[in-house]
Amino acid sequence: MKLSIKRMLRLVSLGSLGIAATLYAIYQLSQSATRPETADPQYIQMLILTLIGLGILLCTTLWQIVSLIRHLRQRHVGARLSLSFALRMLFASLIPVSIVGAFAWLFLSYDLGKTFNSRVTVALEDALQLTRTSITLRARQAVDQTRSLANIMINMSYTDLVSEIEPMRRNANAIELAVFDHQGNLVAFTHQNLAVMTIAPPSTSALLRISQEQEYFEFATDEDGNYIIRVLSDINKLGRDPYYLQVTFAMPEEFNSLANSVSENYQQYRSYSYLQPHITTSLLLVLGLILALTVLTALWLSSIFGDQMTRPVRQLIRATRKVTSGDFSTTVTDMPNNDLGTLGNHFNIMLLTLRDAEAMNNRTQDQLTEQNNFLGTILDNLTSGVLTFDWQSRLQLANQAAAAILSNPLKAHIGRRPQTEPEKALDSFDELMCALAEAFNQSPGNWHQEVTLSRFADRKTLICRGSRLPGQNSRQRGGQIIVFEDVTEFQHNQRNAAWEEVARRLAHEIKNPLTPIRLQGERLQRKLGDKLSEPNDQRILQRATHTIISQVDAMQQLVSDFSQFAKPVELRRQKIDLNALLREIAELYSDADLTLDLQPDLPIITADPIQLRQVMLNLTKNAQEAGGDSPIAIQWRTRQAQNQIVVSVEDDGPGFPDLSKDPFEPYVTNKSKGTGLGLAIVKKIISEHHGSIQAGPSKQLNGAKISFSLPL
Amino acid sequence: MKALPLIVLLSLCRALFAESLIREGRCWQENNLWLADLRTSIFLGQDPIDALKSGIMLYFNYTIVFEPQDQWFGDKKTIQHELRLRYNHITQAYIVENPITLREQSFPTIEGALATIGQLRSLPLIDQALLSPDERYTIAIRLNLAEDKLPVSLRLTALFSSEWEISSDWWNCPIHL
């Protein structure tokens, strides 16, 4: 700011100096121009001073303009406004200056002499001619007088000439009489002024003319400025070289006065006529210099005023820019005492208001942030999945538990409406929302629904609850919140506990009578087999006892399975190489279409190898039996994932037809034979190892896939 | 300083368009007085002649400089000798005036008047007593038309017209005391 003021002072000083110098010089020039016939020794100096002053003003103005253009290019705040203001001021001043200048130029260029001086010209020319005519008449008399005197002198001797020349002069009323020989030497002379001691001889041209025409006269002025007639005539001495008589006559005093007046006026008139175009040029030059000074001053003042007048506006623009960027600390100061000052005061008041509002907003934001963080923390620590939707049913928020339960990060669904057509579902979120579509879209209040997901990830059973959120838009339409929990394990454990109780009771109630029944059957066969004579009777007995024994064996097997399922698994843990164990078990299936996809360098785990062998046998058997008589391709795969090892068994069989029922639940089977306890026992063993097991479709073999994970 | 190029340019123009030429000259000492004879040819263009015949007086100026040859420490002396030329419309003659002697000479032709102006005979220059006996001097004489005595309205035309640039070269005459 200080620099700007210093620069401005320098510019103002320089410009003022230029204007002052130019004004002084133009004033002097204009004074000289009003006295066009006089000489002014300072004219050129004033002209140079004017040019120097204009040069200073021009440089100052150019400096200001260049500075303004540089500010424009650098996109300084308010530069365009300053330029606009300066241009308007310039136009506002130039237009009247141009009009005045143009008309002044027109008037100065007009030749007044042509209109008013024509008659004066004629009159002066006539007066001059009249004067000359009167002189000529007088000159004729003088020539005649001189001729007479020359004729008298023809017969005079030198002595007579010397003695008679003065009386002859007086008689002729001449100023002087002089006789020269043919070489121009003075022979005799007389002059009315006795102090005159000599007389200049006639000029060569005069002598030449007298030799041709015998007489010559000239009209001239004497050294006092009086008009005289000088006549030259030859004195022709017969047979001798000629002598010349020169007689000078004075014009009458009245004539001198009139002739001087005519001459002086005519000379002034001719001078003025001659100088008039030059006077016009001089005046036009002064006018041009004045116009140049005016234009440059207008340009200079426009740029100065443009810069100064827009300073408060520039300050306001800068402050406003800071406000738009969020800085409310810059107030405007040093405003002028006018409307702009009032505007600046209002701006400062507005800034204070905005500052208070910003502080309040910040406090509110902080509170909201705290609440959001609090809510976020709660949501992130919930084991239930939470999904919120806006009033247009677009997903707004999903907590970490929701992503974990649905095995989907859900980021791709944020801000989008959920899928409602099952055939277009692409992931577990779509599957969930398709299942909830009816309740989600149509239920006006709270609702709850159990959903089992199985298409895109592991089978899971979810308990979902939905509620409407408060109004979010102008129509008070609110969104919804869905809270869901994964109850798969819970349901499984509940049912498993019930089944274990049933199995325990069955084993206890049925196992005891089976052995006596089988023994009695064998006794009947042994005691009565030989005593029946009829072969037909023997055959019937044989078939009946065989049926009893085989069914009892089957029931014993069933009871054994139930007993195994019901009793707790006793693990004998030891460190094992899982890949090695699987390769050993796979040798049992050398005839089957079994492939191994084992990740090398699996870490050693602590587990019961016998129980794991049971698991793999049950799963492989389950896969083989799923295909019926058709050969089944089976693949075992191991992978390490974070802190666990995942083992999967996949086949290319028909897969699970209905995963809505838990396949690990007892008696859930699609096979014609079997107890349906194989997968239930597998799950129990895996659970005892603190692992997890899931059933689902195989994407690689397009059949069924059962995978279990064991912790490291 | 900014006017310096303009002044240099004007001086250059003067040198280029000099319209007078000093044909011959002589300086000598007589009775402790330095005298000079000079014959200068003066050529007037049509514009100055028109101005003259319109009644405008022309001032011819002889500038006579006594310049010590040691220019750094010497005392330079300058004197002016002016002659005026005008036209009388009644007598239709050109009149040469000497403002010192008030003598007027009338000439029917401009050539006669210019020849008289260009002819200096036994012009007394300076008394020898006014010159330092220890210095060696050079008398430099130049004839020019005094533009600063032209009417103001003619100055602008004279400034940019070569016809008004009437000035001779310097004629130098070294003198020995």
Q: Which of A96, A17, A98, A60 is nearest to A307 (CA)?
A: A60
Chain B residues within 8 A of A267 when measuring between CB atoms:
55, 89
pLDDT value of position A472: 63
- Reply yes or no on whether the pLDDT at B15 is more than 50: no
Q: Which residues from A are below 8 Å from B8, CB to CB?
A: none
Distance from the A157 Cα atom to the nearest Cα atom in chain B, whole angstroms? 34
Please give, rounded to a whole number of angstroms, the shortest distance from the CA of A100 to a CA of chain B: 23
Residue with tokens 């240099």: B8
Strands B58-68 and A186-191: unpaired
**Rounded distance, CA A61 to CA A54, Å?**
10
CA pair distance A327, A436, nearest whole angstrom? 49
Instruction: Give B-chain residues touching A35 at CB under 8 angstroms.
Output: 152
- Break chain A down into helix, strand, coil percent, rounded to 5: 60, 15, 25
A135 — contact with chain B (CB < 8 Å)? yes
For residues A303 and A93, the answer to whether their CB atoms sit within 8 Å is: no
By the CB < 8 Å criterion, does A392 face chain B?
Answer: no
Determine contact, residues B155/B9, Cβ cutoff 8 Å: no
For residue A42, what is the nearest residue in chain B, using CA coordinates? B148
SS3 A175: coil
Of the candidates B34, B65, B78, the one whose C-alpha atom is nearest the C-alpha of residue B139 is: B65
Residue A40 with chain B: CB contacts under 8 Å: 148, 152, 155
Least Cα distance to A496 among A565, A571, A570, A558 occurs for A565
Smallest Cβ–Cβ distance between A285 and the set B108, B151, B156 belongs to B156
Measure CB to CB from residue B152 to each of A39, A132, A135 and give the nearest one. Answer: A39
Residue B16 has pLDDT above 70, yes or no: no
- What is the distance between the alpha carbons of residues A112 and A104, in angstroms, rounded to a whole number? 14
Residue A117 has pLDDT above 70, yes or no: no
Token pair of B171 as six digits: 């004629």
Provide the pairing of β-strand A574-576 with B171-175. Answer: unpaired
Q: Which chain A residues are closer than 8 Å to B47 by Cβ?
A: none
Partner residue facing A35 (CB), from B55, B152, B154: B152
Question: CA-to-CA distance for A707 and A641, rounded, in angstroms?
Answer: 13
Compare all CA atoms of chain B with the CA of A259 and give the residue at the minimum distance.
Answer: B90
Confidence of residue B73 (pLDDT cuts 50, 70, 90): low
A285 vs B: CB within 8 A = yes
pLDDT above 90 for A700: no
Q: Order the strands of the B33-42 sheet from edge to edge.
A: B20-30, B33-42, B119-127
What average pLDDT is seen over chain A? 84
Q: A555, A500, A558, A502: which is closest to A684 by C-alpha? A: A500
Q: Which residues of B touch A (CB under 8 A)?
A: 2-3, 6-7, 50-51, 53-56, 88-91, 93, 95, 102-104, 106, 108, 148-157, 159
Condensed to tens digits (0 to 9), the pLDDT of residues A596-645 reads 999 998 899 999 999 999 899 989 988 888 777 778 899 999 999 888 99
- With contacts defined as CB-CB under 8 Å, which chain B residues touch A128? 89-90
Report the DSSP beta bridge partners of residue A395: A389, A414
- How far does CA A492 lie from the centroid of its chain? 64
pLDDT at A237 over 70: no
A274 inside 8 A of chain B by CB? yes
Residue pair A503/A566 in contact (Cβ under 8 Å)? The answer is yes
pLDDT value at A568 more than 80: no
| DSSP secondary structure code for residue A424 in this structure | G
B105/A583: higher pLDDT = A583
How does strand A243-250 pair with strand A176-180?
antiparallel
Rounded CA-CA distance B138/A271 in Å is 41
Give the separation between CA A430 and CA A439, rounded to whole angstroms: 15
Cβ atoms of B70 and B150 within 8 Å: the answer is: no
Which residues of chain B are within 8 Å of residue A205 when distances are taken between CB atoms? Answer: 108
Residue B3 has pLDDT above 50, yes or no: no
Encode pLDDT of A478-533 as tens digits.
788 999 998 888 887 787 788 778 877 777 777 778 888 888 888 888 888 777 77
Q: What part of A 232-261 touches B (C-beta under 8 Å)?
A: 259
Distance CA B79, CA A325 (A): 80
pLDDT of A66 higher than 70: yes
Determine the Cα–Cα distance for residues A58 and A405; give it in Å rounded to an integer: 82
Statement: residue A437 has pLDDT above 60: yes
| Partners of B60 in beta bridges | B83, B145
Which residue of B84, B85, B90 is the best one to mutate when testing the A interface, meaning the one whose CB has the most A CBs within 10 A? B90
A275 interface with B at CB cutoff 8 Å? yes
Residues of A in contact with B157 (CB under 8 A): 278, 281
Q: Which residue has the higher pLDDT, A1 or A6?
A: A6
Query: In this complex, which of A39, A47, A225 lies closest to B104 when CB atoms are compared?
Result: A225
Gap between the Cα atoms of B116 and B122, Å rounded: 14
A156–chain B nearest CA distance, Å: 33
Tell me, what's the pLDDT at B14?
47
Residue with token string 């009159």: A123
Predicted local confidence at residue A675, as pLDDT: 65
The answer to whether residue A314 scores a pLDDT higher than 60 is yes
The percentage of residues in chain A with a pLDDT greater than 90, rounded to a whole number, is 12
Preferred mutation among B96, B104, B153 to probe A, highest tally of A CBs within 10 A? B153
Rounded Cα–Cα distance for residues A339 and A485 (Å): 68
The SS3 of residue A531 is coil
- CB A407 within 8 Å of CB A414: no
Q: Mutate which of A29, A196, A221, A283 to disrupt the B interface (most B C-beta within 10 Å)?
A: A221
Contact B157 A44 (CB under 8 A): no
pLDDT value at position A153? 87
Which residue in B has a C-alpha nearest to residue A218's C-alpha? B91
Q: How would residue A39 be classed by pLDDT, with cut points 50, 70 and 90?
A: confident
3-state helix, strand, coil in chain B (%, to 5): 25, 45, 30
- Residue A466: which region, alpha, beta or left (left: phi > 0; alpha: psi -120 to 50)? beta
In the predicted model, is pLDDT for residue B1 greater than 60? no
Q: Which one of B87, B89, B100 would you mutate to disrupt binding with A, by most A Cβ within 10 Å of its Cβ?
A: B89
**pLDDT given at position B72:** 66
Chosen for mutation from A28, A42, A44 (greatest number of chain B CBs closer than 10 Å) is A44
A573 Cβ contact list (under 8 Å, min separation 6): A606, A607, A608
Helix (H, G, I), strand (E, B) or coil at A573: coil
A283: closest CA of chain B, how far (Å):
8
Task: Read off the tokens for A203.
Answer: 């000029």
| Chain A residues with beta carbon closer than 8 angstroms to that of B155 | 40, 43-44, 282
Read off the tokens for A368. 């909201």
Q: Chain B within 8 Å of A130 (Cβ-Cβ)?
A: no
φ, ψ for residue A508, nearest 5 deg? -70, -45
Q: Mind telling me how many Å the CA of A181 is from chain B's nearest CA? A: 23
Amino acid identity of residue A427, one-letter, is D
Phi (first) and psi of residue A42, to 5 degrees: -90, 5
- Min Cα separation B113/chain A (Å): 13
In angstroms, the separation between the Cα of residue B30 and the nearest Cα of chain A is: 25
Query: Strand ranges (DSSP E) for chain B?
Result: 20-30, 33-42, 58-68, 77-88, 93-98, 103-107, 119-127, 137-145, 171-175
Chain B contact for A217, CB < 8 A?
Answer: no
**Is pLDDT at A709 greater than 60 in this prediction?**
yes
Residue of chain A minimizing CA distance to B146: A41
On the question of pLDDT at A67 being above 70, the answer is yes
Facing B150 at nearest CB: one of A39, A55, A219 = A39
Chain B environment of A218 (Cβ under 8 Å): 108
Touching check for A612 and chain B: CB below 8 Å?
A: no
Smallest Cβ–Cβ distance between A128 and the set B90, B152, B154 belongs to B90
CB atoms within 10 A of CB A586: 18
- Let me know: does A125 contact A262? Beta carbons within 8 Å: no
Calpha distance B156→A631 (Å, rounded): 125
Contacts with B150 from chain A: Cβ below 8 Å: 39
Are B89 and A266 within 8 A, CB to CB? Answer: yes
Contacts of A671 (CB under 8 A, 6+ apart): A625, A626
Task: Compute the nearest-CA separation of B4 from chain A (Å).
Answer: 10
**What does the pLDDT look like over A383-415, one tens digit per residue?**
889 999 988 889 988 888 898 888 888 888 999
Q: Chain A: nearest CA to B73, how far in angstroms?
A: 30
User: Does residue A669 contact residue A681 with C-beta atoms inside 8 Å?
Assistant: no
pLDDT digits (tens, 9 = 90+) for A73-88: 888 777 787 788 778 8
Q: Is B161 helix (H, G, I), strand (E, B) or coil?
A: coil
The secondary structure element, H or E, covering residue A64 is helix A43-73
Residue B104 has pLDDT above 70, yes or no: yes
| ipTM score assigned to the predicted complex | 0.79
Q: For residue A83, give the nearest of A94, A71, A93, A95 by alpha carbon.
A: A71
Nearest partner of B158 among B40, B14, B6, judged by Cα: B14
The residue of chain B nearest to residue A134, with distances taken between CA atoms, is B90
Contacts of B145 in chain A (CB under 8 A): none
Q: How far is CA B150 from CA A36, B11, B64, B107, B115, in A?
A: 10, 18, 21, 22, 21
Backbone dihedral region for residue B170 (phi beyond 0: left; psi -120 to 50: alpha; all else: beta): beta
- A366 residue type, one letter: D
The predicted structure's pLDDT at residue A408: 84
pLDDT of residue B82: 93
Do the chains contact at A41 and B154, CB–CB below 8 Å?
A: no
